[in-house]
């Protein structure tokens, strides 16, 4: 009777029909226990396809003829592989969605904790909020924070350190200073840390937001020059350039060449004249932060520049001196750094 369905092997027919039943029951059980409609729909689709292959192989024969494929097995294989590709793409989308949810929850938790412990001071004093993303920078963070002035251009300086999943006691070192420490329970990347810092700076009504690295490379003595164009209402976004100033960072030839190349690419697509697209020593008018669409979790420097340009912010570049790291080693990947910059530039440009 099974051979009457069109397959030469009754055993294969029985196996395929049984497999279809198992797939359907799995999907039904998932729906019954987790209410997952997506999984149930996928299970129904797959079970129908497998059942048709076992019970009604003539359907695939007709498809093979339509696609001018001589063997029925080839069309079955083609459809099966197509289904597999779609399932893999669906899985990747679900994984990415879960990653974004975890990232959002991590940042929301950090912001909520910082808000709970924030001072209730309602002072109308103008402020510069210095945001310092830090990942395992316990050896240098205290010196960086302590070197910041109390005021600049008649703006009171507030310091906000975002410890991005550090495991070396970075937060403990900050606790002995006047800075506010915010901690991500999971590492989110520099871009994620900056977004947390920007959100808190906006909540606190910062007039100007400055970003510096936690490794001691950025020149605190040049903070006045960085903030000056915004304080004088001559710019909305100011970024330092080591190539217009002094570069003692110790970057190799390949990395310097890569930074210059990516800077030229950004200049072409944004009609700008920057010289250093990856410098994290920058100042942004606080009221303009809300205009920027920031989604990058790691390679955020190009995204900030392109977004600032797309939203009409007045951009100014000033020469600065970049020193070598005070302690530790860079957290930037080698090959991954170039690929990450390229991806960030492209995705920010096309959206």
Of the listed ranges 9-13, 33-37, 52-56, 99-103, the least confidently predicted one is 9-13
Q: Is the pLDDT assigned to residue 3 strictly greater than 50?
A: no
pLDDT tens digit string along 254-270? 888 888 999 999 999 99
pLDDT tens digit string along 297-330? 888 999 999 999 999 999 999 999 888 765 656 6
Q: Is the pLDDT assigned to residue 123 strictly greater than 90?
A: no
Contacts of 103 (CB under 8 A, 6+ apart): 188, 192, 297
The whole-chain average pLDDT of the chain stands at: 85
Structure tokens at 300: 């955020």
**Residues facing 128 on adjacent strands:** 157, 208
Report the C-alpha gap between 334 and 247 in whole angstroms: 19
Report the C-alpha gap between 74 and 293 in whole angstroms: 47
CATH topology of domain 122-350: Spore Coat Polysaccharide Biosynthesis Protein SpsA; Chain A (3.90.550)
Write down the pLDDT at residue 310: 93
Can you give the residue ranges of every domain in the chain? 9-100, 122-350
Give the number of other Cβ atoms within 10 Å of residue 74's Cβ. Answer: 13
* Residue owning tokens 């392109």: 306
First to last CA, the chain: 58
Q: Is the pLDDT assigned to residue 332 strictly greater than 90?
A: no
Cβ–Cβ < 8 Å for 296, 191: yes
pLDDT tens digit string along 33-77? 877 788 888 889 889 888 888 788 777 777 777 777 777 677 778
Cβ–Cβ < 8 Å for 133, 194: yes
Cβ–Cβ < 8 Å for 314, 303: no
Q: Is the pLDDT assigned to residue 1 strictly greater than 50?
A: no
Write down the pLDDT at residue 219: 86
- DSSP for 5-22 reads GT-S-HHHHHHHHHHHHH
Residues 341, 344, 345, 346: is their CA dihedral positive or negative?
positive
For the chain, percent helix, then strand, then coil, each to nearest 5? 55, 15, 30
Cα–Cα distances (Å) from 68 to 53, 64, 72, in that order, read: 18, 6, 10
Structure tokens at 35: 């209410």
Structure letter (DSSP) for residue 169: S
Q: Is the pLDDT assigned to residue 12 strictly greater than 80?
A: no
Write down the pLDDT at residue 5: 44
Enter the pTM of the model: 0.74
């Amino acid at each position: 009777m099974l051979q009457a369905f069109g397959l030469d092997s009754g055993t294969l027919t029985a196996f395929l029909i049984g497999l279809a039943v198992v797939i359907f029951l799995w999907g039904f059980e998932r729906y019954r226990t987790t209410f997952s409609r997506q999984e149930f729909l996928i299970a129904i689709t797959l079970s129908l396809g497998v059942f048709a292959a076992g019970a009604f192989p003539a359907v695939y024969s007709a498809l093979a003829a339509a696609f001018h494929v001589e063997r029925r097995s080839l069309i079955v294989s083609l459809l099966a592989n197509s289904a597999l590709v779609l399932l893999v793409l669906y899985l990747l989308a679900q994984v990415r969605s879960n990653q974004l949810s975890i990232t959002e929850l991590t940042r929301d938790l950090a912001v909520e904790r910082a808000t709970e412990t924030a001072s209730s001071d309602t002072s109308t004093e103008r402020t510069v909020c210095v945001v310092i993303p830090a990942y395992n920078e316990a050896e240098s963070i205290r010196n960086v924070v302590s070197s910041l002035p109390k005021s600049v251009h008649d703006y009171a300086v507030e310091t906000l350190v975002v410890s991005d999943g550090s495991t070396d006691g970075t937060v403990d070192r900050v606790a002995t200073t006047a800075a506010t420490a915010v901690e991500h329970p999971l590492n989110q990347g520099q871009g994620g840390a900056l977004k947390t810092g920007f959100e808190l700076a906006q909540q606190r009504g910062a007039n100007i937001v400055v970003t510096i690295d936690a490794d001691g490379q950025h020149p605190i003595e040049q903070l006045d020059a960085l903030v000056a164009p915004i304080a004088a209402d001559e710019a909305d976004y100011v970024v330092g350039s080591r190539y217009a100033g002094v570069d003692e960072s110790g970057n190799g030839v390949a990395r310097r060449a890569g930074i210059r190349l990516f800077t030229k690419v950004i200049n072409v697509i944004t009609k700008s004249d920057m010289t250093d697209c990856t410098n994290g020593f920058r100042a942004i008018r606080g009221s303009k932060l809300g205009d920027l669409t920031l989604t990058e979790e790691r390679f955020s420097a190009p995204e900030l520049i392109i977004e600032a340009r797309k939203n009409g912010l007045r951009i100014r570049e000033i020469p600065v001196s970049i020193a070598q790291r005070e302690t530790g080693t860079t957290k930037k990947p080698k090959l991954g750094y170039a690929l990450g910059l390229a991806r960030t530039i492209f995705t920010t440009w096309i959206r």
